Amino acid sequence: MLTPWRLFLWQMAFYHIAKASLCLDGQDIFATVRENSPTGEFIANLSINGDLGSNSIRLCLTGVDADWFYLEGRTIRLNSSLSKALDREVLGSVLIAALTCYEDETIRSRYRILVEILNENDNMPHFLEDTIQPRYISELMGVNSMAFTVKAKDADEDKIAYMTDKSSVSDFREALFCFQPKGPKVIFNGCLSVNLNVTQPDASYFRIDLPNSGMVILDKPLDFETNSQLLVVIHAVEMNTKEKYSTTATVTVNVLDGDDQYPQFLPCLPVSEDGDHTICTNPVYTVNITETDEDIVLYFSPGPIHAEDGDKDIQTPLVYSILSGDDDGRFTIVPQTGEITLKHRVENRLQTPSRTLRIMAAQVNDPKKYSVTTALVHVISENHFAPYFNKTIYKGFLIENSSPATLVTTYGNRVLVVQAIDGDFRDGINPKIHYTLQPMTGRYKPYDITQDGIVIAKTDRLRAFDRHILEVIATDEESGEVAHSSVDIEVLQRGQPVPRSPFGEERLFGDMNAGMAGGIAGLVLIVAITTLFIFLWLIKRRRERQDPAERGAIALGKNPNVEAMTPTSPRHDL
């Protein structure tokens, strides 16, 4: 039998046991929630026995992630907002909190809350900046070698595949981009039409064999001289998602010049062009010397003799040498500059009127890379006198005629011969004189001149009373010296006689009878024709007898080694 005291103690114990049971029957909570879920999203229901409405029972959420939840009766819900999105990539994969049950301010029980955040594909891949920086690759890199590696990451840890953009057509294409809400991160919802300019010819130089590796392989040879900079567009695409989000990066590949070109003598003489490639031939350098020249530096045309490494960004130093034609040391070359010196004079230009030198320029660091050109040395006679005309103005006449061409005549109806005199020749006739007429205005040129100094006119294009003044230029093809004169040509009417003399001697015949005047005129004409034929025959014979010893070989341009001497007065020993 219980005593009153024992009964009291038993009642008190039973009271506390019954009261404590209000926080019992709970358990740890394990739940899941999708990333970017909205506020109020259901997490879990509580299984505590107590009446949460009584004043004696109080529940409290604690722990590092407790602010992500709130209680609504016996339900735990997500506490998110537009400014506080549930982002798995920021928070991690699990939220951890605790549910504490208080009874009269006394902790009766504590349960763990573990909520796994389920991943949503709400992030696009992005390239690591250090893997898409400009690259520098030698043009000598072998095909099928790894050029560089790119790397992209996806915050959702999706698998990434890489590919190069092989587009080779430049055009504008319309693309439609649509956006759908994927949680609080998305701030735009709708579609946008965009014009894209697609152009990627440089991608043909590269390929990606293993899509997951990001290794970019060289697919065809590089050429610095053709293209020193390439732009390669690379895509990174999600492999294991239905959205297949992707990102794009443009990698700049700077091609470094490699030592793959041979030296080239300048100036370049193009023979063909293939795109950005220009195929050149080496020039032939020429210079004139005389028998008296000795211990002088030769200045060639085009000049100076100079070569450059074909690899413009490397410019390897070159060394010059004479392969053949140095004539036992008569010609020497400075290896570093290519400057050629004539050490000893040429004794007999008639025996060897010209010399041919074979010049080689080779790379100092690789003699197998070389180029060879030709230098021609012409030996000419000394030039003391410049050519000159014995008249400043030659007078010429034409009779209006329908024939295609005729010779321009002068006084007395003699053939007009424009002749330059050169004091370096006994007879004054320089066979290397070249005559030209200064072009008249317009495309049509009614006059031409032969190398004998005879002026020819296209008569059918001329009209009576026309008058033309032409400039005649005589050029010494060996020395390059020139002389100038003029020709004043009048076109006469049919039947109009050609003046016999510039001094009016024809007036003397005006007092004679017609028969006598006609006889004298006929005689003068016969004498003039005979004299002309004899004159032309003499010119021809003199040229045929022209001793090559009196002049040198053909020269190209004025001889820089010969000082032209122009006499103060013409020679009279012709």
pLDDT (tens digit, 9 = 90+) per residue, 420-454? 999 888 888 888 899 999 865 556 688 999 999 99
| Number of folded domains that form the chain | 4
User: Do 402 and 296 share a structural domain?
Assistant: no
Q: Choose the final residue of a domain: 380, 405, 425.
A: 380
Read off the pLDDT of each residue in 182-188 and give the average, rounded to a whole number: 44
**pLDDT tens per residue, range 107-144:** 878 889 899 988 888 888 999 999 999 999 999 999 99
Q: Let me know if residue 563 belongs to a domain.
A: no
Q: Let me know if residue 10 belongs to a domain.
A: no
The pTM (predicted TM-score) of the whole model is 0.49
For the chain, percent of residues with pLDDT exceeding 90 = 38
The DSSP 8-state label assigned to residue 541 in this structure reads H
Look at residues 97, 74, 77 and name the one whose alpha carbon lies nearest to residue 25.
Answer: 74
Are 282 and 193 in contact by the 8 Å Cβ rule? The answer is no
User: Do 395 and 530 share a structural domain?
Assistant: yes
User: Do 468 and 538 share a structural domain?
Assistant: yes
Read off the pLDDT of each residue in 296-317 and give the average, rounded to a whole number: 91
User: Do 273 and 244 share a structural domain?
Assistant: no
Please determine, for residue 98, whether its predicted confidence score (pLDDT) is greater than 70: yes
Look up the CATH number of the domain holding residue 217: 2.60.40.60
User: Do 545 and 528 share a structural domain?
Assistant: yes
538 CB-side CA count, 13 A:
9
Banded model confidence at residue 541, pLDDT cuts 50, 70, 90 = low
Query: According to the 3-state scheme, what is the secondary structure of 502-513?
Result: CCCHHHHHHHCC
Read off the pLDDT of each residue in 245-265 and give the average, rounded to a whole number: 91
Q: Let me know if residue 1 belongs to a domain.
A: no
Q: Let me know if residue 567 belongs to a domain.
A: no
C-alpha–C-alpha distance, residues 502 and 412, integer Å: 10
User: Do 149 and 246 share a structural domain?
Assistant: yes
User: Do 37 and 53 share a structural domain?
Assistant: yes
Please determine, for residue 298, whether its predicted confidence score (pLDDT) is greater than 90: yes
Q: Choose the final residue of a domain: 65, 87, 118.
A: 118
C-alpha distances in Å from residue 149, one per residue of 26, 131, 133, 167, 495: 55, 7, 11, 21, 95
In this predicted model, which residue has the larger pLDDT, 402 or 137?
137
Read off the pLDDT of each residue in 298-323 and give the average, rounded to a whole number: 92
C-alpha distances in Å from residue 385, one per residue of 15, 62, 538, 555, 564: 145, 117, 23, 17, 7
Please determine, for residue 248, whether its predicted confidence score (pLDDT) is greater than 60: yes
Q: Let me know if residue 570 belongs to a domain.
A: no
pLDDT given at position 20: 42
User: Do 470 and 404 share a structural domain?
Assistant: yes
Look at residues 390, 367, 379, 403 and name the one whose alpha carbon lies nearest to residue 331.
Answer: 379
Q: Let me know if residue 2 belongs to a domain.
A: no
The DSSP 8-state label assigned to residue 568 in this structure reads S
User: Do 396 and 282 share a structural domain?
Assistant: no
**pLDDT tens per residue, range 45-71:** 887 766 665 667 788 888 889 899 988
Q: Let me know if residue 6 belongs to a domain.
A: no
**pLDDT tens per residue, range 554-566:** 333 344 444 444 3
Look at residues 490, 447, 492 and name the one whose alpha carbon lies nearest to residue 472.
Answer: 447
Read off the pLDDT of each residue in 165-190 and give the average, rounded to a whole number: 47
Q: Choose the final residue of a domain: 361, 380, 399.
A: 380
In this predicted model, which residue has the larger pLDDT, 144 or 524?
144
**Highest mean pLDDT out of 210-219, 277-286, 460-469:** 210-219
Question: Range of 495's domain?
Answer: 388-550
User: Do 69 and 93 share a structural domain?
Assistant: yes
User: Do 398 and 368 share a structural domain?
Assistant: no
Q: Let me know if residue 155 belongs to a domain.
A: yes
User: Do 431 and 512 share a structural domain?
Assistant: yes
